[in-house]
Structure 1
Amino acid sequence: MSTHNSEPPSPTPVPDRYAPSVVAVEPRDMSRPNTHSTWSSPVARLAVSVAHLPDSSVNALCGASAGVASGIVTCPLDVIKTRLQAQGSFRPRKYTGPARVVYKGLTGTARVIWVEDGLRGLYRGLGPMLLGYIPTWAVYMSTYDSTKNLLYPQMENKWLARTLASIAAGGCSTLVTNPIWVVKTRLMSQVSARASDEHRPPWHYKNTFDAFRKMYAKEGIASFYSGLTPALLGLTHVAIQFPLYEFLKMKFTGLEMGQTDAKTEDVHWFAIALATVLSKMTATSATYPHEVLRTRLQTQQRSPPSQSDNHVSFRGGDPQQTIRPPGTASSDGMINLPRYRGILRTCTVILQEEGWRAFYNGMGTNMVRAVPAAVTTMLTFESLKIVHQKLKNEGKRVEEDTE
């Protein structure tokens, strides 16, 4: 009876054995899914990887991507500009008649190219253009940013530091990519078989690699550095454009090139575009003649091949006459020299044969091409830098949460 009436054992120890306390369970159960979901997310992993990338690599990648974008958008305008700049440089030696102008302005040149070559003609040289923009802007943007950061602590004059940085970056990118731009210019100046002899260059390339192969075999390695001197003179262009762009962007937004505003998510697209347009137009107007000199030298064949069915020469093909290599005497005892030799000689020849207006051939078209190209380049570059900064901040946050 006493046993029947005794109190049953307390149920408290049983739940304590099989149900852990809430405080002990919650951190373990919550931390595991959180860590797994954080590191399994592709965006989070990308953000963590980006957070560890050096700034030079980021600037190179953003610059290359920006250059490719602008190249695709503006290739047809670049072809038109090249045709206008090279017009008059392929006349045969014996041609004494008046210079016949085939390419007239933006729409006129586009119409001629469309009739003779079709859509493909408007995209001649796209391959080497894209091949060239990748190292050009990759080298330029990374060198410009690193040189600027190196000079800033040593110079009080920020404008001078930016100018020197742009010259150094432009020199490095020009030396690296000049061979690609020579091939691009050759391909863009190449016309169809239906064009007149007066405007047909003394070569024919099937594609980019065919151009590299033939130029090396027939003209040597020096042909890839034709026009290097005026190309280096073109450093005056970037010495004006990029310091002026940064100056204008600072005035409009308070930020330097590639910088983002940590206090706001707003992107100053209009200010970036306006700064780009003003800086590009100023630099192009001030330095355009060097582009004509560079194009003339790049489209001039250094020496005709010894065994050639086309009998090419420095001044264009002449199927009725065999032209000897430069420096040798022709049948009339005259030395066979190239038409364009150096900056001063090239300027003199253009002035004598075509007048001062030839130095501005294609400038209007170049402005129509260069301004959208610059806007595309800078908007793409600044956008990618913004994306990089956001990923970098997210990567740091993810690392802090998982520690």
Structure 2
Amino acid sequence: MSTHNPAPPSPTTVPEDAPPSPGRPPRNMATPDGPSAWSRPVATLAARAAELPDGPVNALCGASAGVASGIVTCPLDVIKTRLQAQGSFRPRTYAGPTRAVYKGLTGTARVIWREDGVRGLYRGLGPMLLGYIPTWAVYMSTYESTKEFLNARMENKWLARTLASIAAGGCSTLVTNPIWVVKTRLMSQVSARASEDHRPPWHYKNTFDAFRKMYAKEGIGSFYSGLSPALLGLTHVAIQFPLYEFFKMKFTGLEMGKTGGNHEDVHWFGIAAATVLSKIAATSATYPHEVLRTRLQTQQRSLPTQSHDHVSFRGGQDGSGYTSRPPGTASSDGMINIPRYRGVMRTCAVILQEEGWRAFYNGMGTNMVRAVPAAVTTMMTFESLKIVHQKLKYEGQRLQDED
């Protein structure tokens, strides 16, 4: 860095509404017209930020945004998972009427609070945070890079955003599906005081215990349960993110992650409105795939056995307060182990036959209450961090120009 004070250059007239350029910082920041108010540590950080490529920055901003939304909405995610999985743990020999334990948002919250307390509302938070970091890091970095690649080669920006959303969603789903299976298992796990016909056939102490037991008892394939409906869920992001960019352009005139010439003049209301509208539209159109994914993820598998005719003897749960019973997905009485849910179409048929079409929308109201604040938290955090990065980047470029 230069240690002497150079003579100030001649002032340059810049229009108020002129957008920032790579070599010129916004008007509200330190410009050649005035000295920099940035401290030396921040100026050093700004110089480093100017050298960072956009890929790692988008990944970091996306991961931070996902973690923030996960902490805020974990209780609602637990309630949604309980509602989606309700009915999947009944023994096959059960012939009585279907009895719903979880009823709506407040009813489910009361049951969880009564049986498990506050810990029950945050069950699965560990794998959720563990999953959000790579999910949003992979998604945001892949989405931005793919979108820029396609924009340079396609005139249809809507199609480019849709393809970028699908590519980013596919990459993040393949990378993080095992984490989300464990998260769903933990969130659907109930206490020993729960009724017999709503108790899943497993008991995990924590995230790592779930990974260990699933691998030992069910094999590597259990971590990719529900992958088909999860990939089917790419239709969700294919709707949400192009719509978000469309609405944000309408409300603010800017694309995702972009700011205008004045960083202090951020259209937060426009960003929030674009997020809410796009999330409601995407969730309403694609919700049934989430129920299918939850049912497949919470279905316990069994490893192949050496017994006659591949008969599988599996008990219920271990530990005090748990009694051995035939799980809803297999039997422990010597019958051949045939999963209740097999593939997307078979799962659809079984749910429709046993519970009716309304089961495909179990927990949708709760999911809306959870998904919309989660999306707003995610996008607000992402946009805020991108603004901070752009401020540092412009200041770093200015300092480099001075040197």
Superposition TM-score, scaled by structure 2 size: 0.85
Which amino acid is 2:227 matched to?
L
Task: Find the residue that maps to 2:152 and give its secondary structure.
Answer: helix
Deviates more, 1:363-372 or 1:389-398: 389-398
Q: CA deviation at 1:45?
A: 1.0
Contact 1:304–1:311 under 8 Å retained in 2: no
Q: 5 Å matches for 1:1-400? A: 30=5, 41-263=40-262, 265-303=264-302, 310-311=315-316, 319=324, 331=334, 335-400=336-401
Question: Kindly tell me: are residues 399 and 339 of structure 1, through their superposed partners in 2, closer, same or farther at Cα, counting changes over 3 Å?
Answer: same
Indicate conservation of the 8 Å contact 1:47/1:391, yes or no.
yes
Answer yes or no: is the 8 Å Cα contact 2:89–2:328 preserved in 1.
Answer: no
- Verify the 8 A CA contact 2:92 2:328 in the aligned structure 1: no
**Cα distance, 1:311 vs. partner?**
3.8
Larger radius of gyration: 1
Deviation per residue, 1:136-174 (Å, 9 max, x gap): 000000000000000012111100000000000000000
**Residue 336 (structure 1) shift:** 2.7
Deviations 1:14-73 (A, max 9, x none): xxxxxxxxxxxxx98657xxxxx9998211111111111100010000000000000000
- C-alpha distance 28-257 of structure 1, shift in aligned 2 (>3 A): closer
Change (3 A) 1:390 1:87: same
- Aligned identity (percent) is 80
How many Å apart are 1:384 and its aligned residue? 0.4
Q: Could you tell me which amino acid in structure 2 is paired with residue 243 of structure 1? A: P
Give the Cα separation in 1 of the matches to 2:83 and 2:400: 56
| 1:4 equivalent in structure 2 | none
After superposing on structure 2, the runs of 4+ consecutive aligned residues of structure 1 that deviate more than 2 Å are 27-31, 37-40, 304-312, 317-326
Amino acid across the alignment from 1:83: R
State the Cα distance separating 1:335 from its structure 2 match.
3.9
Tell me if structure 2 keeps the 8 A contact 1:38–1:398: no
Distance in 2 of aligned mates of 1:321 and 1:55: 53
Instruction: Tell me the distance in 2 between the aligned counterparts of 1:81 and 1:96.
Output: 26
Closer, same or farther: CA 325–281 of 1 in aligned 2, 3 Å? closer
Give 1:34's aligned residue.
Answer: none
Kept after mapping to 2: 8 A contact 1:323/1:330: no
For the residues of structure 2 that align with 1:134 and 1:47, how far apart are their CA atoms?
24
Q: Is the 8 A contact 2:263 2:391 kept in 1?
A: no
AA aligned to 2:48 is: S
| Range with greater deviation from structure 2 (235-244 or 87-96) | 87-96
CA distance in 1, matches of 2:50, 2:56: 12
**Could you say what secondary structure the match of 1:244 adopts?**
helix
CA deviation after TM superposition for structure 1 residue 302, in Å: 1.1
CA distance in 2, matches of 1:324, 1:183: 17
2:124 maps to a residue whose letter is: G
Q: Which residue in the other structure is 2:26 paired with? A: none
The two structures, once aligned, show a CA RMSD in angstroms of 2.5
Alignment: residue pair count = 363
- CA contact under 8 A between 2:219 and 2:303: conserved in structure 1? no
- Tell me: CA distance 1:88–1:324, structure 2 relative to 1, closer, same or farther (3 Å): closer
- In the alignment, the residues of structure 2 paired with residue 169 and residue 322 of structure 1 have an alpha-carbon distance, to the nearest angstrom, of 36
CA distance in 1, matches of 2:154, 2:43: 39
TM-score norm. by structure 1 comes to 0.85
Deviation at 1:92, TM superposition (A): 1.3
Q: CA deviation at 1:305?
A: 9.4
Farther off after superposition, 226-235 or 254-263: 254-263
After superposition, the C-alpha distances for 1:162-221 in whole angstroms (9 at most, x for unaligned) are: 000000000000000000000000000000010011111000000000000000011000
The alpha-carbon distance between structure 1 residues 318 and 207, as it changes in their structure 2 partners (threshold 3 A), is: closer
5+ residue gaps, structure 1: 1-26, 32-36
Q: What is the distance in 2 between the residues matched to 1:351 and 1:323?
A: 17
Give yes or no for contact 2:315–2:326 (8 Å, CA) kept in 1: no
Q: Contact (CA 8 Å) 1:65, 1:380: kept in 2 or not?
A: yes
Structure richer in helix, relative to its length: 1
Aligned to 1:22: none
- Cα 1:320/1:139, change in 2 over 3 Å: closer
Measured in 2, the distance between the counterparts of 1:196 and 1:86 equals: 15
Kept in 1, the 8 Å contact 2:166–2:235? The answer is yes
Quick one: distance in 2 between partners of 1:381 and 1:299? 31
Residues 28 and 281 of structure 1, relative CA distance in 2, 3 Å threshold: closer
CA contact (8 A) 2:202 2:316 kept: no
